[in-house]
Amino acid sequence: MKIGIIGAGVAGLTAAYDLSRAGHSVTVYESAPFIGGQASTIEVGASDGHSGGRLERGYHHLFTNDIDIIGLMEELGIAGSLQWFPSKVGTYVDGKIYRTTTPLDLLRFGALPIWDRVKLGLFALRVRRIKDWRPLEPFTADEWLRKKLGGKAYETVWNPLLRGKFGDYYDRVGMPWFWSKIQTRFASRKGAGGEKLGYPVKSFDEVLSALRDRLLAAGGSLHVETPVERVLTREGRASGLRFRRPDGTAAEESFDRVLATVPSFSFPQMVDLPDDYRARLEGVTYTAAVVLILEMTRPLTDYYWMNIADRSVPFLGLIEHTNMLPKEWYGGSHLLYLTNYVDRSEPLFSMTPDEVLELYLPHLRLFNPEFDRSWIKKTHYNSLSAAQPIIGTNYSQRIPDHRTPVPGLYLANTTQIYPEDRGTNYSVRMGRKVAKLLMEDAAAT
């Protein structure tokens, strides 16, 4: 069977790997000049006499319950490169940084009266014990948390974190998202020594490159800088793809099956879809991510992850990669991400990288009064338009099917991951699931 795949992110490359090793002829088209999509990497830390290392455009790590990607790495023979590191989490609130890594830290969290700290801890345990997320579906996380926790504990901790993750859409997110986050965080805290996070020593590129290499070794092909413009149909069935080559010329190729891994807002531009399916796609909004990476001579803080519960700070999180991973992997550079999730219509999304840097810089002294811009050796900027889908209430009734209404055409994107939050683990799981579906359908016809 000849299969065309749109997108060389985690989902597209995982599906390509499974389909090509099952003997199918697979071609992947990627619009960007690189593979990996949201988990793609850049070279950082290289300087005269020092080699650097690869780093994700957007900060990445794994949790201990990310079993699908861990299993895939085992299969690819690269599991040995996955290492586990203790994480250190802080929360910036009322002009102060609090350590919020362990449950004990929570008990010492001075931004809350002691009773609220106890209430917060007991509340997390209560959510952890909920086995079935389905009864939570009719509620937004904001609504449920306000009702069941409420007060200062909610306003000081969870509300700013929801805003940090979803921006102005924080009050639309369904409660199953919160439930699944609590399950994941508890799983990563199993055993002594607090939370452990996973990271492949050569970055997530190791997984993506291994998938690409397996695809090519199985006779498949991959074209970067080759955006797909249209899914071709014949007698109502998907029959091929029209794409644009790197030299700007348009070309077509016929396929027996097509898998698209593009965001829901661009899929309807590629193919005519019935109103009902289209409405399901349009029912999910995405926030964009604006990420600035600073390569520095010194660390800003000693935290890996800093939640910012202060709306006067113009970014939502600080992730100091080299406070969890060795700076020696990056030629000795200290790597700091400054991150924001915004609506694509917000001015921040259209600012130039220099404008974003100038907006952020004055605020870095809040986290370290000695900070000086001379510490910055280099900056990298990245914006992603489909970074985070906003999954609302009762989503199980509205989730778009992987089998689209066009026979032979499949869709696998981050809006189809539920109730978990999107993540590389779930894109691996989804890529494998859709590859299987596609082969089962073909076998049945």
Ligand X SMILES: Cc1cc2nc3c(=O)[nH]c(=O)nc-3n(C[C@H](O)[C@H](O)[C@H](O)COP(=O)(O)OP(=O)(O)OC[C@H]3O[C@@H](n4cnc5c(N)ncnc54)[C@H](O)[C@@H]3O)c2cc1C
- Give the residue among 75, 102, 403, 49 at the shortest CA–CA distance from 210: 75
Of the candidates 61, 163, 196, 334, which one interacts with ligand X according to CB under 6 A? 61
Q: Is residue 424 at the binding interface for ligand X, with CB under 6 A as the rule?
A: yes
Q: Is residue 400 at the binding interface for ligand X, with CB under 6 A as the rule?
A: no
Q: Centre a 10 Å sphere on the Cβ of residue 129 and count the other Cβ atoms it contains.
A: 8
Q: Give dist(CA 38, CA 358) in Å, integer.
A: 25
Strands (E), 270-368: 285-296, 305-308, 317-320, 334-342
Given the rule CB under 6 A, which of 36-44, 294-302, 353-361, 397-405 is the region that contacts ligand X?
A: 36-44
Query: Nearest distance from residue 50's CB to ligand X, in Å?
Result: 26
What residues from 339 to 398 belong to the interface with ligand X (CB under 6 A)?
384, 386-387
Q: Is residue 11 at the binding interface for ligand X, with CB under 6 A as the rule?
A: yes
Q: Which is nearer to ligand X, 87 or 261 (CB)?
A: 261
Query: Nearest distance from residue 391's CB to ligand X, in Å?
Result: 13
Of the candidates 102, 233, 266, 379, which one interacts with ligand X according to CB under 6 A? 266
Of the candidates 17, 29, 139, 303, which one interacts with ligand X according to CB under 6 A? 29
Q: Which residues pair with 263 in a beta bridge?
A: none
Q: Give dist(CA 423, CA 342) in Å, integer.
A: 18
Q: Which is nearer to ligand X, 152 or 202 (CB)?
A: 202
Q: Is residue 149 at the binding interface for ligand X, with CB under 6 A as the rule?
A: no
Give how many residues touch ligand X by CB under 6 A: 36
Strands (E), 193-256: 196-200, 221-223, 228-234, 237-244, 250-254
Angle between helices 159-166 and 141-148 (to 10 degrees): 170
Cα–Cα separations (whole angstroms), residue 73 to 66, 67, 261, 293:
11, 10, 21, 27
Cα–Cα separations (whole angstroms), residue 122 to 145, 260, 400:
13, 43, 36
Query: Nearest distance from residue 186's CB to ligand X, in Å?
Result: 17
- Which DSSP letter does residue 244 get? E
Query: Nearest distance from residue 150's CB to ligand X, in Å?
Result: 30
Q: Which is nearer to ligand X, 64 or 266 (CB)?
A: 266
Of the candidates 16, 19, 93, 289, which one interacts with ligand X according to CB under 6 A? 289
Query: Nearest distance from residue 370's CB to ligand X, in Å?
Result: 28
Q: Which is nearer to ligand X, 123 or 170 (CB)?
A: 170
Q: Give dist(CA 414, CA 399) in Å, integer.
A: 11
Structure tokens at 124: 């997390």
Query: Nearest distance from residue 27's CB to ligand X, in Å?
Result: 11
Of the candidates 98, 220, 427, 434, which one interacts with ligand X according to CB under 6 A? 427
Given the rule CB under 6 A, which of 32-40, 349-357, 362-370, 395-403 is the region that contacts ligand X?
A: 32-40
Of the candidates 45, 58, 164, 400, which one interacts with ligand X according to CB under 6 A? 58
Q: Is residue 38 at the binding interface for ligand X, with CB under 6 A as the rule?
A: yes
The string of DSSP letters for 75-112 reads: HTT-GGGEEEEE--EEEEETTEEEE-SSHHHHHT-TTS
83 phi and psi, to 5 degrees?
-115, 155
Q: Which is nearer to ligand X, 144 or 180 (CB)?
A: 180
Q: Which is nearer to ligand X, 146 or 344 (CB)?
A: 344
Structure tokens at 419: 């109730």
Q: Give dist(CA 105, CA 84) in Å, integer.
A: 21
Q: Which is nearer to ligand X, 14 or 239 (CB)?
A: 14
Query: Nearest distance from residue 289's CB to ligand X, in Å?
Result: 4
Q: Which residues pair with 402 in a beta bridge?
A: none
Q: Which is nearer to ligand X, 54 or 422 (CB)?
A: 422
Q: Give dist(CA 224, CA 206) in Å, integer.
A: 18
N-terminal to C-terminal alpha carbon distance within the chain: 12
Given the rule CB under 6 A, which of 10-18, 47-55, 105-113, 309-317 is the region that contacts ligand X?
A: 10-18
What residues from 185 to 244 belong to the interface with ligand X (CB under 6 A)?
227-228
Query: Nearest distance from residue 373's CB to ligand X, in Å?
Result: 24
Residues that bind ligand X (CB under 6 A): 6-12, 29-32, 37-39, 58-62, 227-228, 261-262, 266, 289, 291, 384, 386-387, 413-414, 422-425, 427
